[in-house]
Amino acid sequence: MRQTPEAMLKRLFAARWVQVLLGALIAGYLRLVYRTSRVTIEPPDVYERIDRNLPLILTFWHGQHFLMPFVKRPYHKAAVLISRHRDGEINAQAAERLGVGTIRGSGDTKGRFHVKGGSVAFREMVATLGEGVNVALTADVPKISRRAGLGVVKLAQQSGRPILPIAIASSRRITMKSWDKAAVNLPFSHLSAVVADEIRVAPDADRDTLEAIRLQVEESINACTRRAYEIVDGPENG
């Protein structure tokens, strides 16, 4: 039976060699963007603060994650949570070429980690932090843009490590019409990385406290995002 073009394309992207090739191309492109751009980091002393609190849980909005590997210094060890979807494999290939390890899995639409392979990934993230390796993950509830789930808060509670909200913006970009409003960063930009204060979660935090911290994480990433775009676009567009 003759395959439709959509089925043929899906099969092509499922091929391992295609995923490896695309991952390498994405990594190369992101290096080009970073190396041709001027970078502003706020606050200027953020790495002194980061190094005092290692390992950290770095969290950000989906769609702003492409340049996150360049936030870490060469001596920082880091791993990123990436879904098990076909697109996730391409992202994993790119991340590993940029010096970031990968943890595969995700939560469901309510930010829970006990489905879709998430419970295994959650335990792996806790263990990774216990080994002194930073863990990075998007804060969004899957398919719901800029609404933080409880996953990152639960991870901080279980691991005892602080959450570090962060946002990255570029002056030259293409904003996609996807659910996450992903920004494709372009070369020869002004890049800004804005980092908020660390957020800690007590091991005995109750449900109301966890919800309050979830809102704090959400508001902190939004504040970082506004400031990052203000730096690269100007106050009137921030």
75: left (phi over 0), alpha (psi -120 to 50) or beta: alpha
State how far the Cα of 164 lies from the Cα of 195, in Å rounded to an integer. 7
Cis before 235? omega within 30: no
Identify the CA nearest to 192 among candidates 84, 40, 33, 7: 40
State how far the Cα of 98 lies from the Cα of 41, in Å rounded to an integer. 20
**Per-residue pLDDT tens digits of the chain, which is 238 residues long:** 566 767 766 776 678 888 899 999 999 999 999 999 999 999 999 999 999 999 999 999 998 889 999 999 999 999 999 887 767 788 899 999 999 999 987 655 455 554 455 688 999 999 999 999 999 999 998 778 789 999 999 999 999 999 999 999 999 999 988 888 889 999 999 999 999 999 999 999 999 999 999 999 999 999 999 999 999 998 765 4
State how far the Cα of 55 lies from the Cα of 141, in Å rounded to an integer. 24
Element (H, E) at 40: strand 38-42
